[in-house]
Chains A and B, each alone.
Chain A
Amino acid sequence: MNADIAMYTESIGHFPSMSRKSPAIKSSGLTKAEDTVIARLKRGDEGAFDELVNQHHSALVRMAMGYVADREVAEEVVQDTWMAVIEGLNRFEGRSSLRTWICGILIHKAKDRGVREKRHTTFSAFESYEDDNEEAVDPSRFQQSGELAGHWAFPPQPWDDRTPEKLLVSQQAVNAMQRAIEALPSTLKEVLILRDVEGVDAKDVCEMLKITETNLYVRLHRARERVRAAVETAIG
């Protein structure tokens, strides 16, 4: 196992030397349900481990694909992550949620793998996203001048009677969403996967990615808008 990973602490997803600088360690980040799962895992309950893998594997693969070029490599990164989880479980003290700890390991391994393979220089989806001032919605969709400047010129058309379930029944919409997620730069993809796909609390996402809440919402909204725009094109 990578020595760096062995040193990785679950407390706040940072390395020990960095964690001292941050006081934001929860005294107990675990819910009662998580306590039960961890107890079952530490007892060697294979069913509990299978459930854990089923619960988090999708999000881990989707997140890994922000850093590496294809699904196959992403699966390898996630496999390494699960191996590290197995190895580190006995040292997990529950100062963050189990999910936060697992995602922290994944992000570290995926970044490491992406850099080692130098994929980030050739992988088109790995565009850097540094400009938090860029607007989420295409500015040309708004009136540019006059009394109504800044109001819709080309507004979104309603998606009739859509619910999440109905949207997901449309293969066109699902494909558009998946393609849009895959095409996101990693900085947008990681916040979208953690917050919307995995349902991680906004504060925990900030802690894991070491970003401010302002950064989080700027990136999250840009990511959501890109996915919305893809669905709009597909079904609009």
Chain B
Amino acid sequence: MTDCSSQCAHSGLTCRDLTERVSEYLDDNISILTKVRIGLHLASCTHCRTYVQQIDLVSSALSCLPNLYPPPMNRLRLQQQFATRYSN
């Protein structure tokens, strides 16, 4: 069930509309008017706040995924090629 009050409706955005704009909103790549409407909606809708937080969290976590490294033989070949190409 939703907890959206009438204030949600005043934003002119449904939850469904809002979920489509979340990435632009988080990147601050959105018009001031839309930003205000989203802010107004979020102020009264805990479910959309949760959704925005989760998208933000996932986006942040992606930058910290475990590193992948080249197989040792590949790295060795790269080092050799680099040394050959740029040796003075």
Contacts and interface: CB of A to CB of B under 8 A. Distances in A.
A135 B79 contact: no
A221 B78 contact: no
B24 A217 contact: yes
B45 to A, nearest CB: 8
Q: Is the interface of B mostly helix, strand, loop or mixed?
A: helix
B14 A224 contact: no
By CB atoms of chain B within 10 A, which of A151, A157, A227 has the most?
A: A151
A136 to B, nearest CB: 6
B87 to A, nearest CB: 6
A224 B16 contact: no
Contacts of B22: 221, 224
Interface string B1-33: 110100010000011110110111001010000
A61 B77 contact: no
A22 interface: no
A44 B88 contact: yes
A78 B15 contact: no
A152 interface: yes
A8 interface: no
A136 B22 CA distance: 10
Interface size class of B (residues with CB under 8 A): 35 or more
A88 B71 CA distance: 23
Contact of B82 (A49, A157, A164, A225): A49
B63 A86 contact: no
Interface string A29-60: 00000000000011110100110011001100
A179 to B, nearest CB: 12
Interface in A82-106: 82-83, 86-87, 89
B20 A135 contact: yes
Given A42-B86, A75-B71, A149 B14 contact: yes
21 contacts: A46-B79, A46-B82, A53-B75, A53-B78, A82-B78, A142-B15, A150-B14, A150-B16, A152-B15, A155-B1, A162-B57, A164-B57, A165-B64, A173-B61, A192-B62, A196-B62, A202-B29, A221-B55, A224-B55, A224-B59, A231-B58
Interface of B: 1-2, 4, 8, 14-17, 19-20, 22-24, 27, 29, 45, 47-48, 50-51, 53-55, 57-71, 74-75, 77-79, 81-83, 85-88
